[in-house]
Amino acid sequence: MEGNNAIEKVKTWPKAVKEYVNDLKLEMRRVTWPSRKQVESTTAVVIITVFAFAAYFQVVDQVLAKSINQLTHALAK
């Protein structure tokens, strides 16, 4: 019985895949795609934000590193 069930699943697989692909195509037609200008502007915002955060974390890292070095140096005396 279990062998027949597995065979039936294999037989219905191509139909299920075809339905999935058709549904996927239909859904992709409904998507509202951004314009090139929108993509460029949001990409620029992301890049600028990444560099701003990198600079901020660099400053914080340097301040903390200097503070920890001074603290360990003071405690070592």
Domain carrying residue 4 = 1-31
Question: What gap in Å lies between CA 66 and CA 62, rounded to an integer?
Answer: 6
Question: What is the rounded end-to-end Cα distance, in angstroms, of the chain?
Answer: 82
User: Does 2 score more than 70 pLDDT?
Assistant: no
pTM of the model: 0.58
Q: Based on the structure, what is the number of domains in the chain?
A: 2
24 and 52 belong to one structural domain: no
37 and 27 belong to one structural domain: no
Model confidence pLDDT, tens digit, residues 18-76: 999 999 999 999 999 999 999 999 999 999 999 999 999 999 999 999 999 999 999 98
Residue 50's CB: how many other CB atoms inside 10 A? 10
37 and 19 belong to one structural domain: no
50 and 75 belong to one structural domain: yes
75 and 38 belong to one structural domain: yes
3 and 21 belong to one structural domain: yes
Helix (DSSP H) and strand (DSSP E) numbers for the chain: 2, 0
pLDDT band at 13 (very low <50, low <70, confident <90, very high): confident
17 and 40 belong to one structural domain: no
Q: In the 8-state DSSP scheme, what is residue 33?
A: P
pLDDT band at 3 (very low <50, low <70, confident <90, very high): low
